[in-house]
Amino acid sequence: MTEDAKNAIMKYDNKAAAEIAKKAVAEGADLVDLIENGYSAGMTEVGALFEAKKLYLPHVMAAAATMNAAMEILEPEIAKKGAGVGTGLGT
């Protein structure tokens, strides 16, 4: 599931990112792991490509919008479990 999340970010696919997040919640997956090793990993790769001048600012913004689509679903679920958003995310 983390690889799918990363790919959704890399493809700027908001719908897929949200669907993956919903599926993770429904299956009781480790949401922090999904964020760290899926969505954030995709953002890291987008950032590296931007630094290498292989992507441009609109690509980074599209990837961020995709991440936000997933986080809108994941943040409330993480809060319900008592972990603050950012807890264990290395931020």
Domain ranges of the chain: 2-80
Q: Looking at the domain that runs over 2-80, which CATH code has it been given?
A: 1.10.1240.10
pLDDT at residue 88 greater than cutoff 90: no
Per residue in 16-33, pLDDT (tens digit) is 999 999 999 999 999 999
Give the whole-number percent of the chain exceeding pLDDT 70.
90
Tell me how many degrees the CA angle 7-36-8 measures, rounded to the nearest 5.
Answer: 15
Picking from 27, 9, 22, the residue whose alpha carbon sits closest to that of residue 76 is 22
